[in-house]
Amino acid sequence: MIGTKAARADDVWKVYGKEEARVVALRGVSASFERGKFTAIMGPSGSGKSTLMHCLAGLDTVTRGTVHIGGTEVTGLNDKALTKLRRDRVGFIFQQFNLLPTLTAAENIRLPLDIAGKKPDPQWWDTVIGTVGLGDRLNHRPSQLSGGQQQRVACARALMSRPDVIFADEPTGNLDSKAGAEILAFLRSSVLEHGQTIVMVTHDPVAASYTDRVVFLADGEIVAELENPTPESVLEQMKAGEVLV
């Protein structure tokens, strides 16, 4: 049943360049991400984990194979449809917080809704703002916020439109461990309490331990999966992977 999967990749290939300069980033990756689950994609650099996420999110095109978000096939959509997809059904959290410096925190949070010409649901707004815990800083501009606070604004922005899936690309990469832990706890709680689907790319075993499931990539292929990970089990798997290589 399609409805139970928030995002799905079927035999996805991604090839850059031609002939001698050919680099295969993904070789026939198939993976699905269930609704209301928090999934981590891990792997050494160059393993294709970011590429996989970009292809899943419709930010990058695939060379072969199909990608679905919800019931929609993403592969083959034109720019207009992709824009609409990103607007309505996908949320993003980037490593570098990527807020608009000209807008206040609150304005940044409602930006995707504004772009789509929608009004925020007041109850959901209060819920998200409450969980993010920015309080009186909502009317500050990004330059007046700390890194952790900025990333929380980015998380709230991603949550606000209740997308089918949120893609997070190393969301704690630029934060100290305390701020990072706060963000991860926040993401975890939005999955548990609000049934949000999140796919996160990370190389940090501690970050991965906040998720329900970890998918390991190496050389463009899925090499292992781990349910209910702990930092230790993730680390172990990573070490095993290295031995394999």
Q: What is the DSSP string of 42-75?
A: E-STTSSHHHHHHHHTTSS--SEEEEEETTEE-T
CB 120 within 8 A of CB 154: no
| Binding pattern for the stretch 10-49 against other proteins, x by CB under 8 A and - elsewhere | ----------------------------------------
| Shortest Cβ 124–other proteins spacing (Å) | 17
Give me the sheet containing 213-218, strands edge to edge: 90-93, 165-169, 198-201, 38-42, 213-218, 221-227
Name which position in 2, 23, 115, 240 contacts other proteins (CB under 8 A): 115
| Shortest Cβ 95–other proteins spacing (Å) | 10
Given the complex with other proteins, which of 4 and 143 has the nearer CB atom?
Answer: 143
Given the complex with other proteins, which of 112 and 229 has the nearer CB atom?
Answer: 112
The two beta strands, 198-201 and 38-42, are: parallel
The footprint of other proteins on residues 49-108 (CB under 8 A) is: 54, 59-60, 79-80, 83-84, 86-88, 92, 94, 96, 98-103
| Helix or strand holding residue 98 (H, E) | none
Rounded CA-CA distance 127/6 in Å is 23
Given the complex with other proteins, which of 117 and 135 has the nearer CB atom?
Answer: 117
Given the complex with other proteins, which of 154 and 214 has the nearer CB atom?
Answer: 154
| Binding pattern for the stretch 157-196 against other proteins, x by CB under 8 A and - elsewhere | x---------------------------------------
- 65 burial type by CB count under 10 A (0-12 exposed, 13-18 middle, 19+ buried): middle
| Shortest Cβ 227–other proteins spacing (Å) | 30
The total of other beta-carbon atoms located within 10 Å of residue 67's CB is 23
The total of other beta-carbon atoms located within 10 Å of residue 203's CB is 17
Question: How many residues belong to the chain?
Answer: 245
111 near other proteins, rule: CB under 8 A: yes
Question: By CB under 8 A, which span of 110-118, 174-182, 200-208, 225-233 interacts with other proteins?
Answer: 110-118
Q: For residue 153, give the nearest of 118, 178, 182 by alpha carbon.
A: 182
Given the complex with other proteins, which of 4 and 78 has the nearer CB atom?
Answer: 78
Given the complex with other proteins, which of 112 and 205 has the nearer CB atom?
Answer: 112
Q: For residue 91, give the nearest of 172, 151, 156, 8 by alpha carbon.
A: 156
Site of interaction with other proteins (CB under 8 A): 54, 59-60, 79-80, 83-84, 86-88, 92, 94, 96, 98-103, 111-112, 114-117, 157
